[in-house]
């Protein structure tokens, strides 16, 4: 197995999504393709973890076909600092759609960034997909 980043392969590391759980008990099995995320929030968290780990193929695989970008460029200079879930609606194991509102903080070349988004998800054949999102919060002054 290829090591993807400095944290790759450790079994007791905490999950990049900040849940406080071990990676293997949180986003790890989703990222590794062992199981699919059961809820919209679980998928959202695993996609955040995928950004942290630079897992481009996971991001594309969990993106709804109609909104999936042709090419996804990840900025290697972007350091993800934390994820906070603000609100959620539907998105449970029996739902067809769901929304998760979150704030993700990062730093790029010394500049702090804050992404506040309400994301929309859809479940197809038991698998959740990211459909799109609405940016929230104040634009920078
Ligand atoms: Zn996680």
Flag whether 12 is in a domain: no
CATH number of the CATH domain containing 47 = 3.10.450.50
Whole-number Å distance, alpha carbon 141 to ligand 1 midpoint, is 33
Flag whether 10 is in a domain: no
Reading the block at residue 131, the tokens are 């459909």
Taking only the tens place, the pLDDT of each residue in 88-128 is 999 999 999 999 999 999 999 999 999 999 999 999 999 99
Whole-number Å distance, alpha carbon 94 to ligand 1 midpoint, is 21
Whole-number Å distance, alpha carbon 15 to ligand 1 midpoint, is 5
Whole-number Å distance, alpha carbon 66 to ligand 1 midpoint, is 26
Flag whether 3 is in a domain: no
User: Which H/E stretch holds residue 106?
Assistant: strand 97-108
Res 140 pLDDT > 80: no
Average pLDDT over the chain, rounded to whole? Answer: 92
Whole-number Å distance, alpha carbon 67 to ligand 1 midpoint, is 24
Flag whether 16 is in a domain: no
Whole-number Å distance, alpha carbon 41 to ligand 1 midpoint, is 10
The pLDDT value given to residue 16: 96
Res 36 pLDDT > 80: yes
Flag whether 35 is in a domain: yes
Res 137 pLDDT > 90: no
The pLDDT value given to residue 3: 42
Instruction: Tell me which residue has tokens 């903080």.
Output: 105
Whole-number Å distance, alpha carbon 57 to ligand 1 midpoint, is 17
Question: What is the C-alpha separation between 117 and 103, in angstroms, rounded?
Answer: 7
Whole-number Å distance, alpha carbon 18 to ligand 1 midpoint, is 6
pLDDT band at 60 (very low <50, low <70, confident <90, very high): very high
Say which residue, 30 or 138, is predicted with more confidence.
30
Say which residue, 7 or 28, is predicted with more confidence.
28
Q: Of 76, 26, 84, whose CA–CA distance to 53 is shortest?
A: 76
Whole-number Å distance, alpha carbon 50 to ligand 1 midpoint, is 10
Instruction: Tell me which residue has tokens 């695993």.
Output: 46
Res 4 pLDDT > 70: no
Interval 71-100 mean pLDDT: 96
Res 9 pLDDT > 90: no
- Distance from chain centroid for Cα 128: 12
Neighbour-count burial of 76, counting CB atoms closer than 10 A to its CB (0-12 exposed, 13-18 middle, 19+ buried): exposed
Whole-number Å distance, alpha carbon 51 to ligand 1 midpoint, is 12
Total number of domains in the chain? 1
Domain that holds residue 30: 23-135
Flag whether 101 is in a domain: yes
% of the chain residues with pLDDT over 90: 88
Output the pTM of the full model.
0.89
Flag whether 104 is in a domain: yes
């Amino acid at each position: 197995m290829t090591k993807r980043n400095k944290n790759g392969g450790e079994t007791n590391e905490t999950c990049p999504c900040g849940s406080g759980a071990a990676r293997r008990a949180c986003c790890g099995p989703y990222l590794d393709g062992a199981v699919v995320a059961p809820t919209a929030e679980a998928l959202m968290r695993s996609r955040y973890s995928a950004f942290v780990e630079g897992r481009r193929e996971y991001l594309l695989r969990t993106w709804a076909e109609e909104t999936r970008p042709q090419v996804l460029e990840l900025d290697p200079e972007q350091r993800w600092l934390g994820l906070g879930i603000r609100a959620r609606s539907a998105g449970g194991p029996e739902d067809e759609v769901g929304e998760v509102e979150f704030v993700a903080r990062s730093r790029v070349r010394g500049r702090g960034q804050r992404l506040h988004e309400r994301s929309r998800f859809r479940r197809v054949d038991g698998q959740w997909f990211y459909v799109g999102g609405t940016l929230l919060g104040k634009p920078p002054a």
